[in-house]
Amino acid sequence: MKSLLLSLVACSLLSPVLCDQNPDFDSSQSASGWYFVRFNLPAGEQLTSVTGEMIVPPLEPTNGGTYYIWPGLETSTYDGIYQNVLSGTDSGTWAYFSGYCCTNPTLPWSDNLFVYEGQTLSYRNVLTDTTWATTQGNIDTGEVDNNSFDALVGKTFQSAVFAIELYSESWNFGPMTFQNIAITGTGSDASWCNETPENWQNGADYTISDLSATVDDFGVTCNIGSIVLNQPAAPAVKARTVTKTSSATVTPTPTGNAGVRTLPASGVWGCFSVLLLVFCSL
Ligand SMILES: *[C@@H]1O[C@H](CO)[C@@H](O)[C@H](O)[C@H]1NC(C)=O
């Protein structure tokens, strides 16, 4: 019984990623690799702005798959992500675009900026009144792409995510640098702005530098000099059972859109199977 209780606690800690229900998601495609850190605002608060930069890594596909690397704003119900996506395939060129993935609403993606190794990209996602607008740029070339997302009126974004999402490719491009980041949310509780964000399945070895929070009339702003996703973390022995189970049940679920990305979510069955596994191993 104690173990069962422990497993319940473990499951609720994994929630909502593992235990979340996303009935609308299509599981026809699954990412083969996921690495992300996520800053979660307290209940009732929401993001109003996420800005920053990222440095384009080398593009070296080996399996004909796709790399997606992005900062994103995730809804409080984990049903969609507003994101600035760096996408690489064996075309040999990275494409940089913005949009909202993957359900309700289904939006067209922005135009692509084609970008290259070593360039610094900017992004700015800002809520003005009720409308989210995005500016993405290539600082090296001066190119800029602006988009306004009227269909996101009423969406509440509560988590800021920095992610590597891989389809039939491995993390073979070295460290991924996100820098000069400012995340602003409502409220006055700055506890979410810290150097140990959620790290999905402890999967990433990462380094956070120069982090500080300010609280003023506009809310909490978390300034982060850099988040570097260095490499896949060495597997944690203690987390083995949970890791195995979740990787077997997680089915991240882009829809048919060619540029779809979302976070892994396995539905209530993922949660249930963890319970079952722990229970049966008693
Ligand atoms: C794009 O948006 C930025 C604000 O982020 C603004 O300063 C700039 O003038 C816009 N550019 C165009 C071409 O609309």
pLDDT of residue 262: 56
Closest Cα to atom 3 of ligand 1: 135
Closest atom of ligand 1 relative to the 133 alpha carbon: 5
Closest Cα to atom 10 of ligand 1: 146
Listed in sequence order, the residues at least 6 apart from 5 whose beta carbon sits closer than 8 Å to its beta carbon are none
Closest Cα to atom 12 of ligand 1: 146
Cα 144 to ligand 1 centre (Å): 8
Listed in sequence order, the residues at least 6 apart from 86 whose beta carbon sits closer than 8 Å to its beta carbon are 54, 56, 67, 68, 69, 70, 94, 95, 96, 115, 121
Best probe residue, ligand 1, of 50, 126, 144, 145 (max atoms within 8 Å of C-beta): 144
Give tens-digit pLDDT for 13-35: 333 332 232 222 333 456 779 99
Q: Record the tokens describing residue 215, joined without a space.
A: 């609280």
pTM tops 0.75, yes or no: yes
Which residues are bridge partners to 207 per DSSP?
Answer: 228
- Structural domains of the chain, ranges and CATH numbers in brackets: 32-237 (2.60.120)
Closest CA to 180 of 232, 228, 119: 228
Asked if 243 and 203 count as a contact pair (C-beta separation under 8 A), the reply is: no
Give tens-digit pLDDT for 263-272: 665 443 333 4
Q: Find where tokens 């820098």 sit.
A: 179
Range 83-100 burial, b when 16+ CB lie within 10 A, else e = bbbbbbbeeeebbbbbbb
pLDDT band at residue 54, thresholds of 50, 70 and 90?
A: very high
Closest CA to 119 of 59, 64, 71: 59
The average pLDDT across 209-230 equals 97
Listed in sequence order, the residues at least 6 apart from 240 whose beta carbon sits closer than 8 Å to its beta carbon are none
Average pLDDT of the chain is: 79
Closest CA to 140 of 112, 114, 111: 114
Distance CA 37, CA 18 (A): 15
Q: Is the CB of 125 under 6 A from ligand 1?
A: no
Closest atom of ligand 1 relative to the 135 alpha carbon: 5
